[in-house]
Amino acid sequence: MQSLEWYDSFYGPLYPLDLKDYLYNQRQCKQVKSLVKLAACKIIKDATVTSRAISMLPTELFVPLMQEAIENGRDRAIDVLVSRWPFRSLGLKNLAPPPFQSLNLLYDQNLLKNTVKKSLQYTTSIVHSFFESLKKKYPTKLRFLDLSGHPTAEVIALYLATHCMLVHNEAQQKSMISMYNDTQQKISQHCSEASGQEYQRFEVDQTFPDDTYIVKLDAFVTSDETLAEMCKALRVSSFPESRLKICLERLDATCLGVELVKQLLGEVKPEQLQGLRLKYNHLTCDNFRELAPILKTYTNLTALDLSCNKINIFYSDSTSTIMADMFQNMEFLIRLDLSNNRIKSKVSRLLTKLKRPLMYLRLCGCGLTKNDIEYLSKSHHASALQEVDLSENSLGQSIQHLVVFLQNMKLTLHVLELEESVLSDNHMREISQILPSLVQLLYLNLSGNSMCLSTLSTVTEKVSELADLQIFRVSFSRECYSHTLDAEQLEGEAKETLKKLLTRIILSVKLSKQLVLTLPNLIMSELEMESI
């Protein structure tokens, strides 16, 4: 499997949406670039010009030059800047924008694909430039390379791991030859009077200069080859004498299986890891109990993704107790995804012991029950949650508690997804009454729930009162679907008419309430046939 094909795997708990300044940036006019940025943009267009310029410019200007080179994908300029980097460290977080800055990434797969490609390009380009500058003995002062905050393609993780082993093997070889030379020298001194011959001294060519280098990254591992090399590299990195060390801040171990996951986690330093994804590993309750003692040591995790496994906690009280105890140890955990594991009726047991209230919670397709939603509505998490996804659960039976849950998140909630949640017209009307109070809401997904035209119009009216809402996803009403012979044409006309109607409703409400006339992006989706 190639990591580049799994674009959706990069977004989720490990990489939060940059929501802090999102609304501010949306409302601001495009800022005029400073003279420094304009000059930097010009200089990095030609690597020869870049090389000449940095010999005359103060070291403080290396940073804006590198920012422009990275953002514009100028690989040759990056090569030049890295080869003569005047500082001991280079952090990608300070040079490139966060990878996920747009709410459109939540539904637009093409945008997500291009965004991930661009982010992967950042890490790939810098890693290549860094190692080439060391091999060619360029006068760079760079010793600590921090790529965290951006995903690293699996091929680059493998590239780093093999270099780590190369440097280690060279060091061992050098040590052995040094011992041999010392022994030969002693023998030569002892026999010099008799033979009068000098001994032959052996030398070793080193790939890198004789110094210590550290590379921090977010690794994506899906293949046996990468896992084997990464395990060896992480083990070697723990040796005090190691000259090239790999440090993991986030780890995505996908489609490996429990035995390989255990092997990899056994080599990672728990105190360094902040984000962990174990998606699609076919983990059962028994497998999780095997992993739990290792996972329990990862006390610095802020993000954990155990989604798309077979940890069916509903059938195992012992597993839910072990998982709850594990969460209790993770005192910094604020982003959690347990989707597509059967955890119905166990949410309270799992999340009660979390010391910090969660900011991101995804429980998609977990078979949630009325008791689960009731717990969430009263929990300490409700007042802190910013992103919530309860899609693909039957939430109709829990509507009263769901409304309370939404009410308690009204001051913090930015992203709400209730897709395909079996919510009827009556349920939607109840939810619509609480929607205007969600004053921080930027993204609302109600698609996949069957509504008649009247209900959809009511919901749209209430949604229109949200001044900051940027994206509203909803399915076409049932009336749009025809069963006549000329169904395709009639359905197309009905859908176009509905879009125009909803747009008019939004505009009318904003005008009547004197709200800012910024219309949310209305994303319409098809209903499943069984819902019509």
- Strand bridging mode 387-389 / 335-337: unpaired
- CA 117 to each of CA 99, 157, 410, 424: distance values in angstroms, whole numbers, following the listed order: 10, 16, 35, 40
Whose CA is closest to 90, among 258, 215, 235, 234? 215
H or E stretch including 443?
Answer: strand 443-445
pLDDT for res 2: 41
pLDDT for res 12: 85
* Tens-level pLDDT at each residue, the chain (532 residues): 344 445 555 678 999 888 765 555 555 545 678 899 999 999 999 999 999 999 999 999 999 999 999 999 999 999 999 999 999 999 999 999 888 888 998 999 888 888 888 999 999 999 999 999 998 989 999 999 999 999 999 999 999 999 999 888 887 777 666 665 666 666 666 565 555 455 555 565 666 777 899 999 999 999 999 999 999 999 999 998 899 999 999 999 999 999 999 999 999 999 999 999 999 999 999 999 999 999 999 999 999 999 999 999 988 899 999 999 999 999 999 999 999 999 999 999 999 999 999 999 999 999 999 999 999 999 999 999 999 999 999 999 999 999 999 999 999 999 999 999 999 999 999 999 999 999 999 999 999 999 999 999 999 999 999 999 999 999 999 999 876 656 677 788 889 999 999 999 999 998 888 877 778 999 999 998 777 7
Three-state secondary structure of 399-418: HHHHHHHHHHCCCCCCEEEC
In this structure, the number of other CB atoms found within 10 A of the CB of residue 401 comes to 19
Spatial neighbors of 253 by CB under 8 A, at least 6 apart, are 221, 222, 227, 260, 261, 264, 265, 276, 277, 278, 281
Q: Which residues pair with 369 in a beta bridge?
A: none
Whose CA is closest to 47, among 93, 78, 26? 78
pLDDT for res 1: 36
The answer to whether the beta carbons of residues 390 and 417 sit under 8 Å apart is yes
In this structure, the number of other CB atoms found within 10 A of the CB of residue 146 comes to 19
The answer to whether the beta carbons of residues 419 and 446 sit under 8 Å apart is yes
| Reported pTM | 0.91
Q: Report the amino acid identity of residue 370.
A: K
CA separation for the pair 57, 222 (Å, rounded): 44
pLDDT for res 20: 66
Q: Where are the beta strands (DSSP E) in 142-243?
A: 144-152, 213-221
CA separation for the pair 314, 339 (Å, rounded): 14
CA separation for the pair 161, 37 (Å, rounded): 36
Task: Taking the CA atoms of 464, 470, 473 and 479 in sequence, report the sign of the dihedral they define.
Answer: positive
Q: Report the amino acid identity of residue 502.
A: L
DSSP state of 284: B
Residue 410 main-chain phi, psi, to 5 deg: -60, -25
Whose CA is closest to 518, among 442, 415, 459? 442
CA separation for the pair 400, 510 (Å, rounded): 28
The answer to whether the beta carbons of residues 372 and 348 sit under 8 Å apart is yes
For the chain, the first-to-last Cα distance in angstroms comes to 38
SS3 category, 532: coil
Structural tokens at position 3: 């990591």
DSSP alpha helices (H): ranges in 384-471? 399-408, 425-434, 453-463
pLDDT for res 210: 78
The answer to whether the beta carbons of residues 419 and 447 sit under 8 Å apart is yes
Q: Which residues pair with 361 in a beta bridge?
A: 336, 388
CA separation for the pair 366, 312 (Å, rounded): 9
